[in-house]
Amino acid sequence: MAKTTSHDVRDLALAPDGVRRIMWADRQMPVLTAIRERFEAEKPLAGYRVAACLHVTTETANLMRTLKAGGADVVLCASNPLSTQDDVAAALVDEFDIPVFAIKGEDNDTYYAHIQAAVDHKPQLTMDDGADVIGVLHSSRREQLGDIIAGMEETTTGVIRLKAMEADGALAFPVIAVNEARTKHLFDNRYGTGQSTIDGIIRATNVLLAGRKFVVAGYGWTGRGVAMRARGMGAHVIVTEVDPMRALEALMDGYEVLPMGLAAGIGDIFCTATGDKHVIAREHLEAMKDGAIVCNTGHFNVEIDIPALRELAVETREARTFVEEFKLADGRRIFLLAEGRLVNISAAEGHPALVMDMSFANQALATEYAVANASSLENKVYPVPFDIDEEIARLKLETMGVAIDRLTDEQSTYLATWNEGT
Ligand SMILES: NC(=O)c1ccc[n+]([C@@H]2O[C@H](COP(=O)([O-])OP(=O)(O)OC[C@H]3O[C@@H](n4cnc5c(N)ncnc54)[C@H](O)[C@@H]3O)[C@@H](O)[C@H]2O)c1
């Protein structure tokens, strides 16, 4: 029987499966576990209400447990309608007494009603993956803005939006850009998204990647992870970019670089990873080969022009779970995965726990930092403090059993001089 009465999840009977999987993930999250044990003793978040809007996965469950161990009163809703793991949502309510509002496949109205329910919790701290709670607070719930001491933001797209709000003078409280920590984006965005995106594509389609033309749009942190792993599976990878520096990097990393206008007619599998809109536009869809598979791993489902695809189609059907077939007038078929939403979290389980350990260690420590420093923070987007980032890297290596060298005194002196060693 659920202890918290406040929740909206698929089925509490799923809780035992969720608990098993949360504990499995926990084994891969030793840095977060160490933080949880310290939080348990020190209670740095005692008395603070937190509204978290994150993908409801096993790793997120372990972050919620950590915040609660630190004394926070936490509520969780989903940051994407398709990413919720219903057994995890049930377990958080039933086993860990944490209110959750999230059901996999919820419609848009329910999705936003669940964010409102999290805001009803009267948070003093927010934790977003895509700035949805912050968006709601700054639009329909402005009367609560004064209660918030700080927010945390997990992903690139959210940080871009928050920086735009800061530039407009619209941001009403300080936000810590967890995505900007090197122990976050260098690993989560690259290796986490790289592996789990390929996992999502394969789980949805069972397609062979070897020998196929795999088009990755965007060569940022996520795009390079996807490209790297697709190449590892034997695909011929083509990268599209708008930034000359990143296009050059892709080229010298050994990929073919083309504009989407040319790649569209060549590719077998397309994956967008840009955070931008209509990267695969109508004219690109019109040029695609019969059987092309298109998907997205960027934050919002706007990277592929799905309305145009619907207009172009004379017939649609579900070909497999998470695969929608669009038949065009000339008989060609295009397959869209996971409604164009984050394919790695919709059709697979999202990032492996070992990498989320670092992302969520940043979330937990950034929350502690925000509480401790609330009075000195302005209404700006802040990076995670350098020493927190470094400490997470150090701990991660230690928990992976990897030792590194330390600078000797002689080397420290040498590196700090300008006139020695010629
Ligand atoms: N799937 C996941 O689990 C996951 C994880 C982390 C980040 N993300 C999301 O992935 C997206 C990308 O994040 P990132 O960290 O790689 O960002 P990034 O800024 O490092 O990279 C984005 C790249 O896309 C390029 N780009 C922009 N418009 C383009 C266009 N029209 N065509 C081709 N390239 C274009 C940019 O030049 C840039 O190099 C964001 O929406 C982010 O929130 C998803």
pLDDT tens digits, 380-412: 999 999 999 999 999 999 999 999 999 999 999
The answer to whether 290 and 333 are in contact (CB under 8 A) is yes
- Rounded to 5, what percent of the chain is helix, strand, coil? 50, 15, 35
Instruction: Give residue-wise pLDDT tens across range 128-145.
Output: 999 999 999 999 999 999
Tell me the one-letter amino acid at 191: Y
Average pLDDT over residues 180-189: 97
Which pLDDT score is estimated for 419? 80
Asked whether 83 lines ligand 1 (CB < 6 A), one says no
Is the pLDDT confidence value at 179 over 50? yes
Asked whether 179 lines ligand 1 (CB < 6 A), one says no
pLDDT confidence of 418, banded at 50, 70, 90? confident
pLDDT confidence of 1, banded at 50, 70, 90? very low
**Cβ neighbours for 386, distance < 8 A, ≥ 6 positions apart:** none
pLDDT confidence of 4, banded at 50, 70, 90? low
Tell me the one-letter amino acid at 200: G
Nearest residue by C-alpha to atom 3 in ligand 1 = 193
- Pocket of ligand 1, candidates 56, 215, 222: which has the most ligand atoms within 8 Å of its Cβ, to mutate? 222
Is the pLDDT confidence value at 238 over 90? yes
Ligand 1 centroid to residue 236 C-alpha, Å: 21
Asked whether 281 lines ligand 1 (CB < 6 A), one says no
Which pLDDT score is estimated for 421? 67
Please, what is the angle between helix 244-252 and helix 221-232, to 10°? Answer: 20
Separation between Cα atoms, residue 76 and residue 92, nearest integer Å: 9
Asked whether 222 lines ligand 1 (CB < 6 A), one says yes
- Pocket of ligand 1, candidates 160, 274, 280, 283: which has the most ligand atoms within 8 Å of its Cβ, to mutate? 274
Q: CB count, 10 Å around CB of 172?
A: 17
Which pLDDT score is estimated for 3? 59
Nearest residue by C-alpha to atom 32 in ligand 1 = 241
Instruction: Give residue-wise pLDDT tens across range 83-127.
Output: 999 999 999 999 999 999 999 999 999 999 999 999 999 999 999
Asked whether 246 lines ligand 1 (CB < 6 A), one says yes
Beta strand 269-272 pairing with 292-296: parallel
Separation between Cα atoms, residue 298 and residue 156, nearest integer Å: 9
**Cβ neighbours for 38, distance < 8 A, ≥ 6 positions apart:** none
Please, what is the angle between helix 353-372 and helix 58-69, to 10°? Answer: 30
Separation between Cα atoms, residue 221 and residue 231, nearest integer Å: 16
Q: CB count, 10 Å around CB of 47?
A: 10
Q: What percent of the chain has pLDDT over 90?
A: 97
Is 95 in a helix, a strand, or coil? coil
Is the pLDDT confidence value at 335 over 50? yes
> Which helix (H) or strand (E) is 165 found in, with range?
helix 156-167
Asked whether 194 lines ligand 1 (CB < 6 A), one says no
What end-to-end distance do the CA atoms of the chain give, in Å? 73
Is the pLDDT confidence value at 420 over 90? no
The answer to whether 222 and 189 are in contact (CB under 8 A) is yes
Separation between Cα atoms, residue 114 and residue 108, nearest integer Å: 10
Separation between Cα atoms, residue 305 and residue 68, nearest integer Å: 41
Burial class (CB in 10 A: 0-12, 13-18, 19+), 113: middle
Which pLDDT score is estimated for 71? 98
* Ligand 1 atom with least separation from CA of 300: 41
> Which helix (H) or strand (E) is 100 found in, with range?
strand 100-101
- Pocket of ligand 1, candidates 54, 82, 132, 156: which has the most ligand atoms within 8 Å of its Cβ, to mutate? 156
Which pLDDT score is estimated for 305? 98
**Cβ neighbours for 36, distance < 8 A, ≥ 6 positions apart:** 62, 65, 66, 69, 70, 364
